[in-house]
Structure 1
């Protein structure tokens, strides 16, 4: 499975990219009791937030716990979909789901 890249915009204006590592994927699966691929078929917004947090947290780039992280962010979007389309997916624009191909 290709690595998922998510763009996180914090409330203070910082924008960072979160690459979802295998460790972050397993953390997600343990937390939600489902695989990333299955979750991708019925993606809830909290899944995106958790994947973004887990990617940053396990890379040592986000020290806050998940609930604190939620209070510090404005948006999480699929960075790959944004690069492919040349435009930013907004809150109503569907982002590519983890486990799906962009081709």
Structure 2
């Protein structure tokens, strides 16, 4: 998820103050959060993210080793068994949905 902030004059002359706009930019789709055990570092995060990213319809993956939470954004709901197989291929265990 990326947040962009645009701060500047609303009319260019600076005579009427300034305007600030924040836009939340994130991929559209289905967000599913999973719990994965065994991740301990950035390499673990990359391994899990890489395997899940290869699944069809996946548009974004964020893995956090510290919490064991993996957030997946996909164009359509994912088959949990496919996610489980991807996590297993990376060398970790899918506990289930968080």
Range class of TM-score, shorter chain: 0.3 to 0.5
- Decide which structure has greater helix share: 1
Asked which structure has the greater RCO (Cα within 8 Å, sep 6+), the reply is: 1
- Decide which structure has greater strand share: 2
Rg: which structure is higher?
A: 2
